[in-house]
Amino acid sequence: MNSDNLISILRFIFLLLLQSFLLSNINFFGFINPNLYLLFIIVYRLDCNPSVLIILGFLLGLLLDLLTQGSGGHTVATLTISFLRPYIAKFSFGINYKMPTAMLHRSFLSQRLLYLSLIIFFHHLILYSLIYFSFDNILTILKNTFFTSFFTFILVFFSMKLFKEKND
Amino acid sequence: MRQLINALLKYKHTLLYLGLLIISLIFLNYRSFYHQSIFSKTALAISSNFNSINQNISNYWNLAEINEKLLLENKKLKALELEAFNRQSKQKFSLNPYEFEVFTAKIIKNSYNEARNYLIIDKGYKDGIEVEMGVISSDGIVGIVNQVTSDFSSILSILHRDLKINAGFKKNGAYGSLFWQGNHPKKMKLLDVSTLNQVVVGDTIVTGGMSDYFPYGIPIGKVIGFEKPELEGYYDIDIELFSNLTQKEFVYVVKNKKIDQLKQLDNE
């Protein structure tokens, strides 16, 4: 349990720094910055206390906004997605969704893909809706959401493979 | 009471989420002018509806007092008008009507592909930089100083969706407001130019005299296309900037020495 917490803290700090100093400055095709820091929310223990996850999500978004001079979109998006995560997990994995993280790798591929893509898509939708915050920019919001979600998805998927191999 | 506590416990996650959401919306409001303006617009729309009824009733009872106040104000405005007229006629003969002080600075961080872009320069209040000074480069304008620390300053780039800058035509002084739509770092829009003025593709756009931050007449860009509406009285003009903000290294910060006086006049 203790080493689990320690790993979580290290992962939190590592993903935060990686996101703010490297990934947020990629500007692939001019506007795509994959948000790998979502990996923290995705792989955080599924059987945890939801309040803890909400607070961690809030802190993660807030620190990221402060480090990258963002307007506050990351805070709201990350907070909301950590609040929604139990519902998304229930929807994707069925009624027995409260399993330890290690189990995540042994679930069906289709369930895992659904879980990942729902979290990533909703996060980016909220993020870009807040950043642009007007109906006139709905096309820009959707364009950014789809492309960034796609690249984040790829990064998160392969990072999870890496984590898994390390664990085994 | 027990039931209330039970209900609270049942929804504690949702309550925690809503509490933190409010905090983050306050944070958002505090960080971004754009969101701030939308929030305050909504709040204003709600409160003004409630207030207007109240106001109408109380106004009726205070009409006599208001009349008297208006008379006093008219008198004051007349005096100001005369003074301004005198000053204007004098200024025509003055060779250097603009009192601007210039500092040089080097850009150390420059963003240009987000909706709201910032720059950071290596001069701070130690070097005399203050908030709300204008920033120009050798071939155009760059932005307005936003925050200052002892050694660094952050600048709102003109490539910032919330920033509007007073700009006009070099040939006849017709002015409008210049802003960035968030698409391309060399293209901007000039709106609010009256259709009474003639516009030709290729016209040069310069900073307007109504801006407190920039001296009059700094070249900004040229007209590459415009739309003239049939009914409404304003053009929709596309501008291409002369300067390429994605490859700037040195900038000049200009200080309007008389900005305090201008602000004072604005407040009165």
Å from B25 to nearest chain A CA?
Answer: 7
Query: Is there a contact between B35 and A132 if contact means CB atoms under 8 Å apart?
Result: no
Number of Cβ atoms within 10 Å of the Cβ of A38? 27
pLDDT per residue over B20-76, tens digit each?
988 888 888 888 777 888 888 887 777 777 777 777 777 777 787 877 778 777 767
Closest to B247 (Cα-Cα) out of B137, B102, B129: B137
Structural tokens at position B127:
């070097």
Burial of B110 (0-12, 13-18, 19+ CB in 10 A): buried
Q: What is the pLDDT of residue B95?
A: 36
Q: What are the beta bridge partners of residue B107?
A: B121
User: Which of B24, B32, B113 is the best substitution to test chain A (most A C-beta atoms within 10 A)?
Assistant: B24
Per-chain mean pLDDT for chain B: 80
Does the CB of B9 have a partner CB in chain A at under 8 Å? Answer: no
Tens of pLDDT, residue by residue over B156-199, are: 888 888 888 888 888 888 888 888 887 788 888 888 888 888 88
For residue B251, give the amino acid letter: V
Reduced 3-state DSSP string for chain B: CHHHHHHHHHCHHHHHHHHHHHHHHHHHHHHCHHHHHHHHHHHHHHHHHHHHHHHHHHHHHCHHHHHHHHHHHHHHHHHHHHHHHHHHHHHCCCCCCCCEEEEEEEEEEECCCCCEEEEEECCCHHHCCCCCCEEEECCEEEEEEEEECCCCEEEEEEEECCCCEEEEECCCCCEEEEECCCCCCCEEEEEEEECCCCCCCCCEEEECCCCCCCCCCCEEEEEEEEECCCCCCEEEEEEEECCCHHHCCEEEEEEECCHHHHHHHHHC
Q: Which of B12, B24, B29 faces A51 most closely, judged by CB atoms?
A: B12
If you count residue pairs, one on A and one on B, with CB atoms under 8 Å apart, how many are there? 66
B17 touches chain A (CB under 8 A): yes
Chain A: residue whose CA lies nearest to B26: A72
> Are B28 and A80 a contacting pair at CB < 8 A?
no
Q: Which residues make Cβ contacts (< 8 Å) with residue A53, sequence separation at least 6?
A: A41, A44, A82, A85
Q: Which two tokens stand for residue A60?
A: 């993660």
Residue in the structure block whose two tokens are 């998304």: A88
At A33-92, the pLDDT tens digits run 888 999 899 888 887 888 889 999 999 999 998 888 888 889 999 999 999 998 898 888
Q: CA dist B234 to B151, B193, B194, B239, Å? A: 43, 5, 5, 15
Q: Which residues in A lie closer than 8 A to residue B34 (C-beta atoms)? A: 71, 133
Q: A75 and B27 in contact by Cβ < 8 A?
A: yes
Residue with structure tokens 């709600």? B46
B143 and B157 Cβ atoms separated by less than 8 Å: yes
Of A31, A71, A79, the CB nearest to B17: A79
Q: Answer whether A69 sits within 8 Å of B118, measured CB to CB.
A: yes
What CA–CA distance (Å, rounded) separates B37 from B241? 27
Residues from chain B that touch A73, judged by Cβ atoms under 8 A, are 28
What average pLDDT does range A89-112 have in this prediction? 74
Residue reference for tokens 């003025």: B197
pLDDT at position A168 is 42
Of B13, B31, B38, the CB nearest to A72: B31
Q: Give A116's Cβ-side CA count (13 Å radius).
A: 25
Compute the residue count for chain A: 168
Residue that is written with structure tokens 């929709």 in the block: B236
A122 beta partners = none
Q: What angle do CA B113, B117, B119 make, to 5 degrees?
A: 115
Mean pLDDT of chain A: 84
Length of chain B: 268
With CA atoms as reference, report the closest residue to B144 among B33, B27, B10. B33
Mean pLDDT of A92-113: 73
For helices A109-132 and A138-167, what crossing angle results, to 10°?
A: 140
